Amino acid sequence: MDQKNVRVMAPATVSNLSCGFDVIGLALGEPYDILELELTGSGTVEIAEIRGCSTLSRDPRKNVVGAVLRAIAERADNGTGFRVVLEKGIRPGSGIGSSGASAAAAAFAANELLEGIFTPHEMILFAMEGERLASGAAHADNVAPALLGGITLVRSYEPLDIVQLHVPDELWCVVIHPDTEIKTSVARGILDKHIPLDTAVKQWGNLAGLVAGLYSEDYDLIGRSLADFVAEPKRAGLISGFHELRAAALASGALGAGISGSGPSVFALCRGAESAAEVKLGMSEAMRSGGIAFDAYMSPVSPAGARLI
């Protein structure tokens, strides 16, 4: 009997990793979105319920899950329809891939119900349609790790070419999410459209250094490479206490720290669980001293992306 229902989870992600704007991202162990998907013969997409967030639209034309599933239904072209229940564990506007996780979960779940007719590459392309709706740009630096797990590099967008990078065994990530929201479209809108050559050279060097550090498991090189000369100088002012929070991470032993995605979350990479716990504590104390409410997460880089539960 053909499968008609699936339940899927997809993880939060940290994109950019300071030096890799729009091209690099990693999967976290928590938090995550959960999506329940039913295959129907209606030829339409119905978002029946959204739990954990009252601000998201159930109109499939205005929701990232709807954008992904409508694209998949159109490609399937056989009266395919879907009924969705979405449970948001990742707050929208958090900078840790909220829209990317929902989009990835939708693409993965639909492919399961359609008996795996799409490749991982095609699922990423479908998930990118959700990102296009959310931010105006069909970027893959969140949806690729949300689908595939680990750390992914977008080598090219035209044509799309995703590379899974080596993940050192002791690489952990701490994320502090201040109780504020920054819309991705706003954070993208303040960036310069043209970058001076000397700035681009510094950024390229750091991205290459980060990739080399991952493969050689050179944690010092990883840390030295976590510097952003493109987005962070423009976006730091959107995040209250960012510089203090970054300083607290480094003082607590982080390899490096920066803005997660478009913010307001701030990430820190660490070597090992013990160091990550110290960094989480130091960053949390900085937030409390600033009187800012927040959520804190800590996990190794997750090898798993979207999956059945």
Where among 164, 180, 210 does a domain terminate?
164
247 occurs within a structural domain: yes
Asked if 77 and 98 sit in the same domain, the reply is yes
Structure tokens at 55: 């601000």
pLDDT tens digits, one per residue of 23-50: 999 999 999 999 999 999 899 999 999 9
Contact assessment for residue 151 and residue 167, using Cβ atoms and an 8 Å cutoff = yes
Question: Is the per-residue pLDDT at 78 higher than 90?
Answer: no
Distance CA 32, CA 9 (A): 6
Same domain, 153 and 190: no
Number of domains the chain contains: 2
On whether both 151 and 246 belong to a single domain, the answer is no
**Residue 296 DSSP label:** E
Give the pTM.
0.94
One domain for residues 12 and 99:
yes
The C-alpha torsion from 141 through 97 and 65 to 104, rounded to 10°, is: 50
| Residue 20's CATH number | 3.30.230.10
Reference 192, options 230, 139, 236, 138; nearest CA is: 230
- For 247-257, write each residue's pLDDT tens digit: 999 999 999 99
Work out the average pLDDT over 155-167: 97
What mean pLDDT do residues 155-163 have?
96
**pLDDT tens for each residue of 210-220:** 999 999 999 99
- Both tokens assigned to 223: 């840390």
Q: What percent of the chain has pLDDT over 90?
A: 89
What are the φ and ψ backbone dihedral angles of 232, each rounded to 5 degrees?
A: -60, -40
Per-residue pLDDT for 193 more than 60?
A: yes
82 shares its domain with 152: yes
Q: What pLDDT shows up at residue 184? A: 78
Same domain for 257 and 191, yes or no, is yes
Residue 120 belongs to domain spanning: 5-164
**How many CA atoms are closer than 13 Å to the CA of 172, on its beta-carbon side?**
18
- Residues marked active site are found at 131, 184
